Amino acid sequence: MVVSEPGLTGAHLRTPRAAGLAGIIFSVLLFAVFGLMRLSVPADPFERGGWLAGDTKYVTLAMNLVPFAGVAFLWFVGVLRDRLGAREDRFFATVFLGSGFLMLAMLFAAAAVVGAIIVAFHAAPELLIHSGTFHFGRGLAYGMVNIYLAKTAAFMITTSTIAVYTRLTPRWLAFGGYAIAAVLLFGSSYFDGSLLAFPLWVLVVSATVLWDRQAASTSAGLPPTELE
């Protein structure tokens, strides 16, 4: 006979109130990452690596912020799933989670490649710059961020579709997600700042979720944690 210890069973875990801020934190961190990278790393993938000889502290800081942004994004996904509750569909949940994980994997991998380039340069500056390894790594990081990461719009499309049918967000925001996804899919190669559209969209979604939760708690006369 198994005896359960008091407090270990029957407890109901609730989404932490602070989790509602995860999307905002992710947006701010991703804005910071892209901004810091742009201060040091040229947008041209054929650049010969002159930026490595300068101060790379901004790039290093950006690389260190990426893991925190990734954790915040996972919390943001968790908040959306918690908000859906029993309305979550298995098909859309699979695409929703899969596209989100794929996006994070490419973001982490691109950051690791850039970090490896910096380490290799400091180990052997002249050898790296004049080798095919540098150009391969630079092209790999560029492709991950500007081609594949930018085109992981399936996350936004799926989220917007879920929002349309479940009222997860206002309809204008759901259709706005479709529009931004189209920009990322077809315009990321032509608009240099198109990547910033995704964290901006996450910021607006998170602010809307927080506003709705606060409004619901005010009308019910309950603290926000009682609604989760």
- Residue 97 one-letter amino acid: L
Report which of 11, 21, 119 is spatially closest to residue 73, judged by C-alpha positions.
Answer: 21
Residue 225 has pLDDT above 70, yes or no: no
Residue 190: per-residue pLDDT: 67
Residue 161: per-residue pLDDT: 87
Element (H, E) at 139: helix 132-143
What is the rounded CA–CA span in Å between residue 222 and residue 216? 8
Interhelix angle 154-166/197-220, rounded to 10 degrees, is 30
pLDDT tier for residue 9 given thresholds of 50, 70 and 90: very low
Interval 85-116: pLDDT, tens? 777 777 777 888 888 888 899 899 999 998 88
Residue 226: per-residue pLDDT: 46
Residue 69: per-residue pLDDT: 93
pLDDT tier for residue 174 given thresholds of 50, 70 and 90: confident
Interval 111-126: pLDDT, tens? 999 888 888 888 887 7
